[in-house]
Amino acid sequence: MPDTRPMSEAPPDHDDSGAKRNVIVLVAAQAILGAQMPMIFIIAGLAGQTLAANPCFATLPISLIVLGSMLAASPMAGFMQRHGRRAGFLLGAAAGAAGAAVGALGLAEASFATFCAGALLTGVYLSAHGFYRFAATDLASGGFRPKAISYVMAGGLLAAIVGPQLVKVTADAMAIPFLGTYLAVIALNAFGSTLFLALVSPKPAARREAEASGRSRTVLLTDPTIAVAVICAMVAYALMNLVMTSTPLAVVGCGFTKGNAADVVSAHVLAMYAPSFFTGHLISRFGAERIMAAGLAALAAAGGVALHGVDLANFFGALALLGVGWNFAFIGATSLLAGAHTAEERGRAQGLNDMIVFGCVTLASVASGGLMNCSGGSPAEGWTAVNVAMAPFLALAGGSLIWLTSRRPGKHA
């Protein structure tokens, strides 16, 4: 008989030893394998600018990474539901290495189409990477769950340091710019994939039993808690991507160096993950909704700082606030979602969430390049357009959160 309790419930004597072991493995994976994401996000737009015939398509490779993640989200969730987390994460690392290899080939051949094909394949890795936070909850009790998510996200702190520094070392290490960076990404995936051999992966449910039990995707989306969790995660991730995608182009376009751009992105990624050491504790104490609200407020403040000027200090300040806002809103939304579905609904709910989230992130990254390069006559005007575009989406997420809390006053996830 399947356990149909919401995942927020757990037996009082629940043993978190397996969950804690998985957290250690996933923190290491986040740190090592996750380093490839800031590396690629720093250079993909700059490489695209040199390869694309039209500068408006400079950020298309980044958009295709996110599109690949969206397309892979539901299949990857189903694959993990049937074969376990370990198999899914190994598949993701293999896709990351393959995507980097194809991207390197595109750089070597000066082929924008090949470079974009590699980016699409890299999206499969990004999809698997997104499930690290959910894997942390598989064996966790209700009390440990938000902390487990938070600790795993904190692993990105080392990635934020290692990734941009590797870019500095590898970007111009070979005759073809950025080729060395993509070769380094292949090595990261090969090494990092060995970590998953230590992962405690729950035995997958029988396929027919898992498919027959729990709510359908349509019914899941009518659950107010799930709907608001998806909306807030979608807005937080999409706006973070919208601004971050354009940041290297804006920094370099406003007269600063590629090294300055790497430092700004590094500060941003540090701000994304450093709060994770205490975000889970804050959620346990104050509730997911309040932490999500604080995150949305920080995202709005990031836009305000960015609109105040294009000095290097403004870039650092805006991107730091953007990172903190993403952390609070996204981890809060993940915690809210994880407590709103049963174990049998896990693959369905998580796959649906990430498909919607990364679908909107895809649109944001496409819009980022167009707004940055094709709005106004200067990089400063393009940067302004990018940040003004945040406002209506913040209003949507804030309104949905107010609606949810007004339905159940005094309660928190």
pLDDT digits (tens, 9 = 90+) for 157-195: 888 788 888 988 998 889 898 999 999 999 999 999 999
- On whether the CB atoms of residues 379 and 277 are closer than 8 A, the answer is no
Residues 222, 225: Cα–Cα separation, whole Å: 9
Q: Which pLDDT value is given to residue 11?
A: 43
Q: Which pLDDT value is given to residue 413?
A: 41
User: pLDDT tens digits, residue range 210-241?
Assistant: 455 678 888 888 899 999 999 999 999 999 98
Q: Is the pLDDT of residue 397 over 50?
A: yes
Q: What is the mean pLDDT of residues 290-309?
A: 96
What is the pTM (predicted TM-score) of this model? Answer: 0.73
**109 phi/psi in degrees, rounded to 5:** -95, 0
Within 10 Å of residue 21's Cβ, how many Cβ atoms? 14
Q: What pairs with residue 6 in β-bridges? A: 342
Please give the structure tokens belonging to residue 223.
């659950």
Sign of CA dihedral 339, 344, 347, 353: negative
How much is the CA Rg of the chain, to the nearest whole Å? 20
Please give the structure tokens belonging to residue 69.
């993640």
Rounded (10°) CA dihedral 197, 201, 207, 213: -160
Q: 399: Cβ–Cβ under 8 A, 6 or more apart, which residues?
A: none
AA identity, residue 310: V
Domain residue spans in the chain? 18-199+215-407
**Residue % of the chain over a pLDDT of 90:** 44
Q: 175: Cβ–Cβ under 8 A, 6 or more apart, which residues?
A: none
Q: Is the pLDDT of residue 201 over 90?
A: no
Q: Which pLDDT value is given to residue 181?
A: 94
Instruction: Tell me which residue has tokens 């993909």.
Output: 44
Range from 45-49, 93-97, 340-344 that averages highest in pLDDT: 93-97
Please give the structure tokens belonging to residue 248.
């290297």
User: Would you list the DSSP string of 366-399?
Assistant: HHHHHHHHHSSSSHHHHHHHHHHTTHHHHHHHHH
Q: Cα–chain-centroid distance for residue 147?
A: 18
- CA 375 vs CA 246, 309, 362, 412: distances in Å: 12, 17, 19, 42
Q: Which pLDDT value is given to residue 203?
A: 67
Within 10 Å of residue 349's Cβ, how many Cβ atoms? 27
Strands (E), 89-197: none
Q: How far apart are the first and last CA of the chain?
A: 27
Higher pLDDT, 80 or 139: 80
Residues 223, 344: Cα–Cα separation, whole Å: 16
Please give the structure tokens belonging to residue 43.
């250079």
Please give the structure tokens belonging to residue 175.
């005759």
Higher pLDDT, 20 or 205: 20
Please give the structure tokens belonging to residue 320.
């730091």
Higher pLDDT, 207 or 360: 360
Q: What is the mean pLDDT of residues 254-263?
A: 86
Residues 200, 219: Cα–Cα separation, whole Å: 31
- CATH class name, domain 18-199+215-407: mainly alpha
**342 phi/psi in degrees, rounded to 5:** -85, 170
